[in-house]
Amino acid sequence: MTELNTGATPNKLPDRDGWCRIQVSSDAMEAYLVIEPPTGEGNWPSKEDAFKAISAEKITYGIMEDAVIDAINNRQIKPVLIAKGKPPVNGKDAEINYFFETGVFRKAYIEDEYGRVDYRQVQNLQNVTVGQKIAEKIPPTPGEPGCNVRGEEVKATPGKDKQIKLGKNVAWTEDNLAIVSTINGEPTLANNKISVHEVHEVKGDVNFQTGNINFLGNVIIQGNVESGFKIEAEGDVTIYGNVDSADIKAGGNLFIKGGISGMDKSEIICGGDFSAKYIEHAKVSCEGNITVREAIMHCQINADLKVVCEGGKGLIVGGLIRSGEEISAKTIGSRLGTLTELEVGVKPGLKLESQELEQQVKDYKESLDKAEKAITLLSKTPNLSDERKEMLQNLIKTSYALKAQINEADARRQELLEEILVRSKEKGKIRVKEVIYPGIRVTMGKTTIMIQDEIKYAVLVYNEGEIQIQPYR
């Protein structure tokens, strides 16, 4: 059988010219030229075709003409970057610069340029004069807008402002960019509030001769604080002797050159940083760091930031130590297996507030239960007297109020629990420079473990719901 000749070449592609198309990134900050090749006897696209495609896509900014021409001349079929936008420059956050030393550590011993400490030389107060600049604010910047390849403005993220509270005896300058002192005194920073305080100084001990001390500024005690006395100051408190079962409340920092022998009667509250040689049988609550040079023994310690006990013996034994960020010591516990509880990773105040709210909700529910039972009883009673009707109305109002209080307390507690969970994932560390003995209960996040064996040179961290033991570093 003879095949027919149709005159067509088998599998020959039709003649079609190549063309150009433009790919634009999702954020419109980059544009790519894509060359579709011709088929058959078709022609490759020209640079005019390329620029028409660019124009059709409304690409007007950052065009790299050389890249377009090279792609056309080299017949580049892979996507070629031919336009780039200008990214925005985000603004800088505001900054606060202080022209005085902040924190309790400025009251520690002075080191020379070689790091040697002269234990006879202690850095004392910092003084400022009327009109002296003690802080300045560098405002946030708005940033610089960018431009995408279509010529559209890309807005920058402006810098965040930073606020600082003004305390006593300070004022902003006219341009609101600097803070100056309005008296001669000592500057302090506590709870993000800057103040200048006058100083009350006791040349000897706090005892029956001086009585309790309550002062709006800073307090300096050259001697000891004897048993049963109280010191309360809005600013810093500096004690060059020891504290014997006394109560101290400092709105700022608290520095004790000696130690605290609390006999389970002392309560120490500090709004800034705290430092002492040792603490025995006392309760200490601090919104900053707690630094103890020798030992913490059988105490209840609450620190929003760090608890550090690494000088001398560097011993923590007995009691409950809570820290928002880190507990660090040479030795924790004892060979006798003394129970010592360590909780780290959550600000103690958050946990205590959560526990208080839990108790509040319990109390509210008990009151609500009693009110509802009384309402039910009165509602079923026929022919109520006017006095009983008024009682019923008051009980109904009370029940509504209690329900609102329960909802409010529950909502706040849920917020705290979520914050506690987030913080426990972000922070939490226990550093042991030498040894941690058995008998130590460690809590991080929702996880608690009991140390069963001696652990040396270790760091305990919280990771994915577990407390992990890592080498000290």
pLDDT at 385 over 90: no
Say yes or no: 113 and 70 in one domain.
no
Minimum mean pLDDT among 11-25, 96-110, 220-234, 456-470: which range?
96-110
Say yes or no: 64 and 141 in one domain.
no
pLDDT for position 425: 54
Helix (H) or strand (E) holding 221: strand 218-221
Instruction: Say if strands 429-436 and 447-450 run parallel, antiparallel, or are unpaired.
Output: unpaired
Number of structural domains found in the chain? 3
- In which domain, by residue range, is 185 found? 95-145+156-193
Cα–Cα distance measured from residue 303 to residue 341, given in angstroms and rounded to the nearest whole number: 14
Q: Which residue has the higher pLDDT, 154 or 4?
A: 154
Minimum mean pLDDT among 107-111, 187-191, 425-429, 458-462: which range?
107-111
Say yes or no: 160 and 188 in one domain.
yes
pLDDT for position 2: 44
Say yes or no: 42 and 68 in one domain.
yes
Minimum mean pLDDT among 24-38, 65-79, 203-217: which range?
203-217
Q: How many Cα atoms sit within 13 Å of 15 on the Cβ side?
A: 3
* Residue 11 forms part of a structural domain: no
* Residue 270 forms part of a structural domain: no
pLDDT at 107 over 90: no
What is the end-to-end Cα distance of the chain in Å, rounded? 91
Say yes or no: 102 and 27 in one domain.
no
> For 335-345, how does the pLDDT look when each residue is reduced to its tens digit (9 = 90+)?
998 999 999 98
Whole-structure pTM value: 0.59
Amino acid type, 360: Q
Read off the pLDDT of each residue in 136-162 and give the average, rounded to a whole number.
94
> For 388-446, how does the pLDDT look when each residue is reduced to its tens digit (9 = 90+)?
888 889 999 999 999 989 998 888 888 777 776 666 555 689 999 999 999 999 998 77
Say yes or no: 42 and 117 in one domain.
no
Q: How many CB atoms lie within 10 A of CB 417?
A: 16
pLDDT for position 201: 85
* Residue 262 forms part of a structural domain: no
- Measured in whole angstroms, how far is the alpha carbon of residue 33 from the centre of its chain? 47
Say yes or no: 99 and 69 in one domain.
no
Say yes or no: 24 and 101 in one domain.
no
> For 288-327, how does the pLDDT look when each residue is reduced to its tens digit (9 = 90+)?
999 999 999 999 999 999 999 988 899 999 999 999 889 9
pLDDT > 90: percent of the chain = 59
Say yes or no: 75 and 138 in one domain.
no
pLDDT at 331 over 60: yes
Say yes or no: 121 and 172 in one domain.
yes
Say yes or no: 185 and 123 in one domain.
yes
Say yes or no: 99 and 48 in one domain.
no
* Residue 278 forms part of a structural domain: no
* Residue 257 forms part of a structural domain: no
pLDDT at 464 over 70: yes
Contact 34, 20 (CB under 8 A): yes
* Sole residue written with tokens 């006791």: 202
* Sole residue written with tokens 């377009």: 68
pLDDT at 4 over 80: no
* Residue 36 forms part of a structural domain: yes
Say which residues have a Cβ less than 8 Å from residue 234's Cβ, sequence separation at least 6.
168, 195, 197, 215, 216, 217, 251, 252
In the structure, what pLDDT confidence band is assigned to residue 103 with cuts at 50, 70 and 90? low
* Residue 8 forms part of a structural domain: no
* Residue 246 forms part of a structural domain: no
